[in-house]
Homo-oligomer: A and B are copies of this chain.
Amino acid sequence: MEIASKEAVKALGMTWTNPLVGAVIVKNGQVLASGYHHQFGQEHAEVNALNQLDDIKQAQGATLYVTLEPCSHYGKQPPCCQKVAEAGIKEVIIGQIDPHGIVAGKGIKYLNEHGVKTKVLGGTEKLNEAYNFFYQYHRPLVTLKYAMSLDGKLNGAEKARTLLTGPKAQYDVQKLRLHQQAILIGANTLRIDNPQLTVRIQALPQPPIRIILTHDANQLDLTQNLFKLPGPIWLLSQTELKGKARDNVHCFVAHKWTPQKIGELLAEREIQSLLVEGGSNLLAEFLAAGLADQIVAYIAPIVLGGTALPVAVGAALAQKLKYQLIAVQELGQDIRITARRK
């Protein structure tokens, strides 16, 4: 299963909206073949592993290890269960049940009905945290990400961008974005930081949707960096966009965009993960709404002082929120803290 998991992560960032899946075929204690799901719309892991065999007859009587329950439905690909059963696989060891309603135990049922033994091992849930979260809670897994000074500030007092972190932390942000299907910032952050919000370390078939929350989409400066780059851009505005924007820009209009409403919009469109990158008002809104499932905080050994902008400004909490510390990493001179809501 460990080999299967390693296979699965080879496609990190590439499979959306499908999960990462890896598979290994074993017979008489020997690994005969392995495979993974490379990209949305392409073959599933099980089929890729079967295709790796010198002769499909080798599968007869073999055991298949797969990180996620094999699918049982016709989607972009015919159901894996059928292919697995037809190939003569004797037993399927499964990392986790697929929480997607279209599978959710039906794969196992199909296999059992076709003479294939199954066993659910558990332990591969971390491969697809957002996918699992989405099908459990029916909304995206929300991660708040920010870089702050040692004294808990986002930005200097002068309302210009304050670059706090070094190259290792900046590279780490790129890796963090690889796990995300959407990235959200506020219009002030767009104006002040002028970010790209792209994944630059890897070409992705479906890069994260870049979402800007704004009162009035017509007041955005469409010459900023973000708009120069390809990939979908969503504007969440209270007013309809009047001018003509490029084809990759889509404007959604609502009377008021609360974190809940943003979550609903994303859920409707099967967006399983959202990274909120600031600024301080938007971070405070998501915290107050109880919609900050994870926090990734980078801390730089810099002090910005008593008039600088705090991480969260505005919306009050009803009570303090408790998180579980997941990881503390030193990235050059910076520190990354990962925490999950308790």
A contact residues vs B (CB 8 Å cutoff): 148-153, 156-157, 162, 280-281, 283-285, 287-288, 292, 295, 297, 299, 301-308, 310-317, 320-325, 328, 330, 333-335, 337, 339
Q: What residues on B are CB-neighbors of A334 within 8 Å?
A: 325
A322 and B297 alpha carbons, distance in the complex (Å): 19
Not counting A287-B305, A306-B314, a sample of 20 additional A-B residue pairs whose C-beta atoms are within 8 angstroms of each other reads A149-B320, A150-B337, A151-B152, A151-B287, A151-B312, A152-B312, A153-B310, A285-B306, A287-B306, A299-B299, A302-B321, A302-B323, A303-B323, A305-B320, A306-B313, A307-B314, A307-B316, A310-B310, A325-B334, A328-B328
What 6 A-B pairs have minimum CB-CB distances, sorted nearest first?
A152-B152, A284-B306, A305-B317, A301-B323, A307-B316, A303-B321
Shortest CB-to-CB span from A342 to chain B, Å, is: 8
Tell me the dominant secondary structure on chain A's binding face: mixed
Q: What residues on B are CB-neighbors of A151 within 8 Å?
A: 152, 283, 287, 310-312
Name the one of B156, B295, B304 contacting A150, with C-beta atoms under 8 angstroms. Answer: B295
Copies in the complex: 2
Are B302 and A306 in contact, CB atoms less than 8 angstroms apart? no
Q: What residues on B are CB-neighbors of A323 within 8 Å?
A: 150, 301-303
Q: A281-B306, A313-B306, A316-B157 are in contact. Are A339 and B301 (CB under 8 A)?
A: yes
Are B316 and A312 in contact, CB atoms less than 8 angstroms apart? no
Name the one of B153, B156, B333 contacting A325, with C-beta atoms under 8 angstroms. Answer: B333
Shortest CB-to-CB span from A144 to chain B, Å, is: 9
- A329 to B, closest residue via Cβ: B328
Are B325 and A305 in contact, CB atoms less than 8 angstroms apart? no
Are A315 and B305 in contact, CB atoms less than 8 angstroms apart? yes
Are A316 and B311 in contact, CB atoms less than 8 angstroms apart? no
Shortest CB-to-CB span from A143 to chain B, Å, is: 13
Q: What residues on B are CB-neighbors of A148 within 8 Å?
A: 152
Q: What residues on B are CB-neighbors of A337 within 8 Å?
A: 150, 299, 335
Shortest CB-to-CB span from A292 to chain B, Å, is: 7
A288 and B181 alpha carbons, distance in the complex (Å): 41
Shortest CB-to-CB span from A295 to chain B, Å, is: 6
Are A302 and B320 in contact, CB atoms less than 8 angstroms apart? yes
